[in-house]
Amino acid sequence: MVDTDDAAVVERCLAGDHNAYEAIVTRYQKGLFNVALRMLGNYEDARDATQTAFIKAYEHLDSFDREQRFFNWLFRILKNECLNVLRGRRPSEPVSPGLQAGNGADPVEARERHQAVQEALMALSVEYREVVVLRHFTDLSYDEIAATLGIPAKTVKSRLYTARQQLGDRLVEWQVAR
Amino acid sequence: MNPFDDNRANDNDDLTELLNELPEVDPPATIVPTVMSTIAGSARAVTTPRVTTFRRGSTMAKKVLWSLAGAAAVALVALRVVGYPPVKEGTEATIGAAQRYQAPQVAAADVKVEDQQFQDFLQSDLFRELVNDKAAQDAVQNPDLQKALADANVRAVLANNEARLAVANNARYLVRADARRDAIAQLKLDAKLRAALEAALEASPALVAAISQANVADALAKSSLARVLARPDAALAISNNAVLQVMRQASANARNDAAVNASANAATNARIK
């Protein structure tokens, strides 16, 4: 799938108009940042990974296959950045307190619930976490998730099934307590 | 939820609701200015060809390039070992006298600066300029500034000439948490840059500590440090410990060289008289 707006911006950047890239960053920063946030569970790490992904994408724009969807390509770069962060992270690093905020009838309970969900996400392996994040925090279809991750759609579905089983086991008390 | 059903309208189980309840978080305001200032300062153009081609259009394989580079390195080492070029007789005393005053050079084995980007910086005119600028050296060796420059957002803000000048000229207000917001609001910067500056100051106590020192704040605007900070790659280099170590030694050598030259000039003048 080719997004003609993105393709036009890429052409302008490759022609030397680097200011055109701002449209790409503005368009995708929220989606990419939230994906990074759920993948990493830390606000600062997500910010840095998102910034680095945008910068690396710009530096390698000439290798972007314009038959692909730009977000898919950008996501793969972001995923590598997230993996770099996770590899360098200490095992016991806590979930960022900034992620716990939320609205609800009981803000304290909502915060605790959100923290529990984020911790359950972080307990998944990266392969399982990424399918859950792409399914629930982006509007990608299964086929698009498959294209983004470079795996068959059937694998996306089976990973999502297992990931949700594991999440369900960890969050069982929250599902009945709500 | 049935994970084999692609229709989200059917996702109505408890687990899906728990996941959907996680709030969508607004991205930090610094992302756009940081990315845009970094790519603006990037020396690499996206259109730069990545391969070397010859007349017949063949592509030079990377391994051939590496082989040539390796052969050149071996040749240089061999020449160094056999003592080429030969030193002419009669120069030994002059060279020996000068060497007595020189601090030992930093050997490659002493400091390892492995990142090519940092190596490029060490070979640049900008590095030589920085080494010979006393005010810039004093600021660069400031631990707070080093810590602040390790943060990509701080580098991005200080890469902008207007923002850097604004910080240098208004440091005494910007370091005060109670006056910062008003001071930033009055700066003649565009809204994104003001937001990025405010975010950088909020997130980096090291930056606040650095600019609270007058010599650092002054150097941001006046010395060769300003030209270094204008390039995010160079700014990153001066937050690297190995680069700083090389710089300290090079700066000491430069001061020694200057002392030797002054001494030699004084001796020459005395003989002329």
Residue of chain B whose alpha carbon sits nearest to that of A114:
B22
Per-residue burial over B107-121, b = 16 or more CB atoms within 10 Å of its CB, e = otherwise: eeeeeebeeeebeeb
| Beta carbons of B148 and B206 less than 8 angstroms apart | yes
Query: Would you say residue B238 lies in a domain?
Result: yes
Q: How many domains does chain B have?
A: 1
Give dist(CA B156, CA B153) in Å, integer.
5
Cα separation of A156 and B176, whole Å?
52
Per-residue confidence (pLDDT) for residue B23, from 0 to 100:
84
* Alpha carbon separation from A94 to B171, B221, B251 (Å, rounded): 35, 40, 42
pLDDT in tens, B231-246: 877 888 888 888 888 8
Mean pLDDT along residues A56-69: 88
C-alpha triplet A110, A112, A117: angle, nearest 5°: 95
Question: Considering only CA atoms, which of B214, B210, B205 is closest in space to residue B135?
Answer: B214
Residue A98 confidence (pLDDT): 47
pLDDT at residue B76 above 60?
yes
Residue B48, pLDDT above cutoff 90: no
Provide the pLDDT for residue A52: 93
Residue-level pLDDT at A153:
93
Residue B95's pLDDT band (boundaries 50, 70, 90)?
very low
Interchain CB contact of B53 with A (< 8 Å): no
The interface pTM score, or ipTM, of the predicted complex is 0.84
- Greatest Cα pair distance in chain A: 57
Does residue B205 lie in a domain region?
yes
Q: Which residue of A has its CA nearest to B33?
A: A22
Amino acid B43: pLDDT: 41
Report yes or no on B2 lying in a domain: no
Can you tell me the distance from the alpha carbon of A161 to that of B7, in angstroms, rounded to the nearest whole number?
15
Specify the DSSP element, H or E, that contains B70: helix B62-82
Question: How do residues A70-81 score in pLDDT, each as one tens digit?
Answer: 888 999 999 999
Q: Is residue B143 part of a domain?
A: yes
Residue B38 belongs to a domain? no
Task: Identify from B16, B17, B25 which residue to disrupt to test chain A contact, counting A C-beta atoms within 10 A and taking the largest count.
Answer: B25
Query: Is pLDDT at B16 greater than 50 in this prediction?
Result: yes
Residue in the structure block whose two tokens are 């990074």: A36
* Res B94 pLDDT > 70: no
Per the CB < 8 Å rule, is A118 touching B22? yes
| A58/B6 touch (CB, cutoff 8 Å), yes or no | no
Q: Using CB atoms, pick whichever of A18, A37, A161 lies closest to residue B40.
A: A18
User: Domains in chain A, please, with CATH?
Assistant: 1-99 (1.10.1740.10), 104-178 (1.10.10.10)
For A:35-94, CB contacts with B below 8 A are 37-38, 43, 47-48, 50-52, 54-55, 58-62
B46 touching A, CB under 8 A? Answer: yes
pLDDT at A24: 93
Q: Does B90 reside within a domain?
A: no
Residues across chain A: 178
Contact B164/B226 with Cβ under 8 angstroms?
A: yes
Q: What percent of chain B has pLDDT over 90?
A: 1
| CA distance, residue A120 to nearest chain B CA (Å) | 10
Nearest CA in chain A to B17: A175
Coil/strand/helix, residue B59: strand
Domain around B258: 117-262
Q: Say whether pLDDT at A53 is over 80.
A: yes
Query: Which candidate from A25, A132, A136 shows the least CB-CB separation from B35?
Result: A25
Q: Is B163 within a domain?
A: yes
Of A109-113, B111-115, B197-201, least confident by mean pLDDT is: B111-115
What pLDDT, in 10s, does the model give residues A17-50? 888 999 999 999 999 999 999 999 999 899 999 9
Q: Are A129 and A163 in contact (CB under 8 A)?
A: yes
